[in-house]
Amino acid sequence: MSGLTPEDFTAVMLSLKVAGAATFVALPIAVLVALAQARGRFAMRVVLDAAVTLPLVLPPVATGYVLLLLFGRRGALGQALEKVGIVFAFDWTGAALAAGVMAFPLMVRPIRLAIEAVDREVDEVARTLGAGRLLRFFRITLPLALPGVAAGAILGFAKALGEFGATITFVAAIPGETLTLPAAIYGATQSPGDEARAAALCLVAAAIAVAAVLVSDAVSRWAARAARGDRE
């Protein structure tokens, strides 16, 4: 595309990589947390609800700074993880961590609503027939909640793809390492004479967003058909 540099194409591919990794890792955790919120009865549930919502209400820069304090090279967790070869600071994995944290609340909510919509009587009948909790989850709850899981995954991917504030605070914007598409757009808008490049990057971002919406619609339809098939 006219106006884009090889560095920009690298930023686009890195953004897709970061968003994909963030979604892949965060989705199973989001399902477990949503299940705990929907079905759990425990004293600290309000704390869990608040913790899940926190990335939505905190400024992204504040979230990135907290991640830097925890997982930076001088952070307690960062130093411990570095000893076993896991480094988040100034690495694409750190960008994925920041994107996953910011996207997590948007993943949990539709999954929680889908689980809450599952008829508890079906689960209760399976329990009286001797099905264990794990079997009931994988054979009943998860298939029926699949449209919500799919929606959560797509929402999380889209949010992770557009994450900027927490990412740039935590891992900066190093070309080829942590320079994602939003950071590239910001950099282009701050460079005199780069208006065409900034516009081209925005078009790329818009195209990816439209593709994500189309995929979300297709996956949601498929998941709904699969859920209806399981009920039948």
pLDDT band at 228 (very low <50, low <70, confident <90, very high): low
Domain made up of 6-230: CATH architecture: Orthogonal Bundle (1.10)
Of 71-80, 168-177, 220-229, give the lowest mean pLDDT range: 220-229
- pLDDT of 16-39, one tens digit each? 999 999 999 999 999 999 998 888
Could you tell me which residue, 218 or 10, shows the higher pLDDT? 10
The yes-or-no verdict on residue 232 having pLDDT over 70 is: no
pLDDT the model gives residue 75:
83
pLDDT band at 230 (very low <50, low <70, confident <90, very high): low
Q: Which among 6-10, 51-55, 96-100 has the top mean pLDDT? A: 96-100
Distances (CA, A) of 55 to 49, 63, 79, 181, 219: 12, 7, 24, 21, 26
Which 8-state DSSP code applies to residue 61? H
Of 26-35, 68-77, 208-217, give the lowest mean pLDDT range: 208-217
What is the rounded average pLDDT of the residues 63-82?
89
The yes-or-no verdict on residue 2 having pLDDT over 60 is: no
Q: How far is the C-alpha of 133 from the C-alpha of 59, rounded, in Å?
A: 38
pLDDT the model gives residue 34:
93
Phi, psi of 225 (to 5 degrees): -65, -40
Domain positions in the chain are 6-230
pLDDT the model gives residue 226:
66
Q: How far is the C-alpha of 20 from the C-alpha of 147, rounded, in Å?
A: 19
> From the CB of residue 108, how many other CB atoms can be counted at a distance below 10 Å?
27
pLDDT band at 106 (very low <50, low <70, confident <90, very high): very high
Distances (CA, A) of 38 to 25, 61, 92: 21, 30, 33
How large a percentage of the chain has pLDDT more than 70? 95
pLDDT the model gives residue 84:
86
Could you tell me which residue, 47 or 30, shows the higher pLDDT? 30
Q: Which among 16-25, 80-89, 171-180 has the top mean pLDDT? A: 16-25
The yes-or-no verdict on residue 132 having pLDDT over 60 is: yes
What is the rounded average pLDDT of the residues 152-177?
91
